[in-house]
Amino acid sequence: MRVRDLHIENGKRTGIEFSNIGFSRHGVLRVIKRIPGVEVLFPRPWRLEPRQDDFVHFTLNGHKFLAAEPWGDSDVFWIVAEDETDIPEIEIVKRAFSKRWLWGL
């Protein structure tokens, strides 16, 4: 699986994008929860809202992130930083998803 960087017009990295092949929304949440230092803010663990594009909100080292399936039923997932761009935490999240696919966790 290829995890790609997402950028805004000025070239600053805002997050990551990866294929949803082999992933579900619950699988994305599971990987996020395994990242050291993550605090999941939404959803409550027992309920993912199927109608919302953004389905997980979390913090990592004080920075806010969200996980989304753009356009509701897409073939990709995005994880983006909500408060800043080009922060090192984006790379931490990217490594977690790259490692998950490599090891099949």
Domain boundaries, the chain: 3-103
d(CA 18, CA 1): 7
> Does residue 4 or residue 72 have the better pLDDT?
4
Q: pTM of the entire structure? A: 0.84
Residue pair 97/18 in contact by the 8 Å Cβ criterion: yes
Judged against a pLDDT cut of 90, whether residue 91 lies above it is answered with yes
Q: Residue 49's pLDDT is what?
A: 61
**Residue 24 pLDDT:** 84
pLDDT one-digit tens code per residue, 45-65? 555 566 678 889 999 999 999
Tell me the C-alpha distance between 34 and 13, whole Å: 23
